[in-house]
């Protein structure tokens, strides 16, 4: 499989009154063409900030302060705002949880679908209109010609989410970043949208980074899974590795939990305690205050990422004891 995205040792920080806070602390992963990587963890673990870092859409007090992001072998962290804007909506697209934030309430659906086609693909208005109808059909929207004349508030939540996906796909991006795109939808519509993203991934050979806190969604669409905790990757592997052979105590906790419907509630039943604040100083393993297996070593030294298998890594000292495998990340 051909590699599309390679993130190496990414560090993203926020300037605040209390000093620089690290939201992403040395995250590394890759995404191939035609592959869905699910990024999973509790609210505040750094999964959304990781995706915003890739898109170059960090809030104004945030910045990438370390590492690299290679997209089709091009370094993104050194690109200008202008260059990034050209990539977004053209080669890289993003869909969010709340379509109303991506759709402009004062313009018709048709106008919003035509715009990027006229700008990025030099289409005439007529060509763009025909393409817009095609796109709405592709994402399963009935009566597309009529929908083009409507405003976002005239559509249901599920239909708006489909329109946003149609917009994201308008320029045939090679990478789609989806941040909790189905969280606000009811289960039936959620399943339909997940199927749609999966089909489009196959048809277009797109790479997908799918951010979610819901292990049910992960099971549904992931090829590979990256588990994040407190700004770090604690476990990464193929979907089978993670569900059939989870290694990290945090991953095991996630799998044992029934996640709360409301992402804002930060607790998972099977994992007592909460995610540390960004400004909290934690020595050793960042999960140790919540980990039932924590030893003195865990409280003092941060574990490296140990290889569990060819496709599977876990950032936990237990791995050293259990397998006595070599560190995948010697430092
Ligand atoms: Fe728990 Fe120690 Fe593993 Fe951290 S390194 S997850 S504290 S066992
Ligand atoms: Mg989020």
Q: What is the pLDDT of residue 31?
A: 98
Here the CATH number for the domain that contains residue 228 is 3.40.50.300
- Residue-wise pLDDT for 176-186, tens only, equals 999 988 877 77
Q: What is the pLDDT of residue 323?
A: 62
Considering the chain, what percentage of its residues have pLDDT values greater than 70? 92
The reply to whether 185 and 269 lie within a common domain is yes
Q: What is the pLDDT of residue 168?
A: 87
The reply to whether 194 and 147 lie within a common domain is no
Q: What is the pLDDT of residue 116?
A: 84
Task: Using the predicted structure, report yes or no on whether residue 224 has a pLDDT greater than 90.
Answer: yes
Tokens of 296: 């003195």
Task: Using the predicted structure, report yes or no on whether residue 124 has a pLDDT greater than 60.
Answer: yes
- Residue-wise pLDDT for 174-222, tens only, equals 999 999 888 777 788 888 889 989 988 999 999 999 999 889 899 999 9
The reply to whether 78 and 215 lie within a common domain is yes
The runs of H, that is alpha helices, within 93-209 are 99-102, 109-120, 125-138, 144-148, 157-169, 187-204
The reply to whether 84 and 185 lie within a common domain is yes
Q: What is the ipTM of this complex?
A: 0.95
Query: What number does the ligand 1 atom closest to the CA of 234 have?
Result: 6
Task: Using the predicted structure, report yes or no on whether residue 268 has a pLDDT greater than 60.
Answer: no
Question: Does 303 map to a domain?
Answer: no
- What 3-state class would DSSP assign to 233? strand
Q: What is the pLDDT of residue 89?
A: 74
The reply to whether 230 and 256 lie within a common domain is yes
- Count of domains for the chain: 2
Lowest pLDDT segment from 68-72, 165-169, 245-249: 165-169
Residue with the two structure tokens 């020595």: 283
Q: In testing the pocket of ligand 1, which one of 291, 302, 315, 323 has its CB within 8 Å of the most ligand atoms?
A: 291
Closest by Cα among 246, 276, 283 to 45: 276
Question: Does 249 map to a domain?
Answer: yes
pLDDT band, residue 290 (cuts 50/70/90): very high
The reply to whether 155 and 266 lie within a common domain is no
From the CA of 317, the nearest ligand is 1
| 103, 160 Cβ separation under 8 angstroms | yes
- In whole angstroms, what is the distance from residue 57 CA to residue 204 CA? 25
**Rounded to the nearest whole angstrom, what is the distance from the C-alpha of residue 111 to the centroid of ligand 1?**
52
Question: Does 131 map to a domain?
Answer: yes
Task: Using the predicted structure, report yes or no on whether residue 130 has a pLDDT greater than 80.
Answer: yes
Question: Does 87 map to a domain?
Answer: yes
Domain boundary among 131, 151, 170: 170
Question: Does 59 map to a domain?
Answer: yes
Mean pLDDT in residue range 140-154:
94
Mean pLDDT in residue range 146-155:
95
Does pTM top 0.80 for this prediction?
A: yes
Q: What is the mean pLDDT of the chain?
A: 89
Task: Using the predicted structure, report yes or no on whether residue 265 has a pLDDT greater than 80.
Answer: no
The reply to whether 51 and 196 lie within a common domain is yes
Task: Using the predicted structure, report yes or no on whether residue 1 has a pLDDT greater than 90.
Answer: no
Domain boundary among 118, 153, 170: 170
Q: What is the pLDDT of residue 267?
A: 47
Question: Does 329 map to a domain?
Answer: no
- In whole angstroms, what is the distance from residue 216 CA to residue 258 CA? 9
Task: Using the predicted structure, report yes or no on whether residue 301 has a pLDDT greater than 90.
Answer: yes
Question: Does 262 map to a domain?
Answer: yes
The reply to whether 63 and 180 lie within a common domain is yes
Domain boundary among 252, 275, 298: 275
- Residue-wise pLDDT for 64-109, tens only, equals 999 999 999 999 999 999 999 889 878 999 888 776 677 889 999 9
Question: Does 304 map to a domain?
Answer: no
Mean pLDDT in residue range 38-56:
93
For residue 210, count other CB atoms closer than 10 A to its CB.
Answer: 30
**Rounded to the nearest whole angstrom, what is the distance from the C-alpha of residue 12 to the centroid of ligand 1?**
24
Q: What is the pLDDT of residue 100?
A: 64
The reply to whether 121 and 205 lie within a common domain is no
| Residue owning the nearest CA to atom 3 of ligand 1 | 316
Closest by Cα among 202, 206, 239 to 223: 239
DSSP 13-54: EEEETTEEEEEEEEEEEEEETT-EEEEE-STTSSHHHHHHHH
Mean pLDDT in residue range 225-239:
97
Task: Using the predicted structure, report yes or no on whether residue 162 has a pLDDT greater than 60.
Answer: yes
The reply to whether 81 and 224 lie within a common domain is yes
**Rounded to the nearest whole angstrom, what is the distance from the C-alpha of residue 275 to the centroid of ligand 1?**
15
Query: What number does the ligand 1 atom closest to the CA of 295 have?
Result: 2
| Residue owning the nearest CA to atom 5 of ligand 1 | 316
SS3 breakdown of the chain: % helix, strand, coil, rounded to 5?
35, 25, 40
| Residue owning the nearest CA to atom 6 of ligand 1 | 316
Q: What is the pLDDT of residue 266?
A: 42
H or E stretch at 74: strand 74-75
The reply to whether 10 and 127 lie within a common domain is no
Q: Could you tell me the residue range of the domain that residue 248 belongs to?
A: 3-91+173-275
Considering the chain, what percentage of its residues have pLDDT values greater than 90? 64
The reply to whether 264 and 127 lie within a common domain is no
């Amino acid at each position: 499989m051909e590699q599309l995205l390679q993130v190496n040792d990414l560090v993203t920080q926020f300037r605040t009154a209390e000093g620089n806070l690290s939201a992403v602390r040395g995250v590394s992963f890759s995404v191939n063409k035609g592959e869905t990587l699910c990024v999973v963890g509790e609210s505040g673990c750094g999964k959304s900030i990781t995706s915003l870092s890739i898109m170059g859409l960090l809030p104004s007090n945030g910045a990438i302060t370390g590492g690299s992001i290679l997209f089709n072998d091009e370094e993104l962290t050194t690109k200008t705002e202008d260059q990034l804007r050209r990539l977004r909506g053209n080669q890289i697209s993003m869909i969010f949880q709340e379509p109303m934030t991506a759709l402009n309430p004062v313009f018709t659906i048709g106008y919003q679908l035509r715009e990027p086609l006229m700008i990025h693909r030099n289409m005439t208005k007529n060509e763009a209109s025909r393409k817009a109808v095609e796109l709405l059909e592709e994402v399963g929207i009935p009566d597309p010609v009529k929908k083009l004349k409507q405003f976002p508030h005239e559509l249901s939540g599920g239909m708006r989410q489909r329109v946003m996906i149609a917009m994201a796909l308008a320029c045939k991006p090679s990478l789609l970043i989806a941040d909790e795109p189905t969280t606000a939808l009811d289960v039936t519509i959620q399943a339909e949208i997940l199927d749609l993203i999966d089909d489009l991934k196959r048809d277009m050979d797109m790479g997908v980074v799918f951010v979610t806190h819901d292990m049910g969604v992960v099971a549904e669409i992931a090829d590979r899974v990256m588990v994040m905790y407190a700004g770090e990757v604690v476990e990464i592997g193929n979907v089978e590795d993670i569900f059939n052979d989870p290694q990290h105590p945090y991953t095991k906790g996630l799998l044992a939990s029934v996640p709360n419907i409301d992402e804002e509630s930060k607790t998972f039943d099977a994992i007592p305690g909460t995610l540390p604040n960004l400004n909290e100083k934690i020595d050793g393993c960042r999960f140790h205050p919540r980990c039932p297996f924590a030893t003195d070593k865990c409280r003092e030294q941060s574990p490296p990422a140990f290889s569990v298998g060819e496709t599977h890594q876990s950032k936990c000292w237990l791995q050293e004891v259990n397998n006595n495998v070599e560190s995948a990340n010697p430092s």
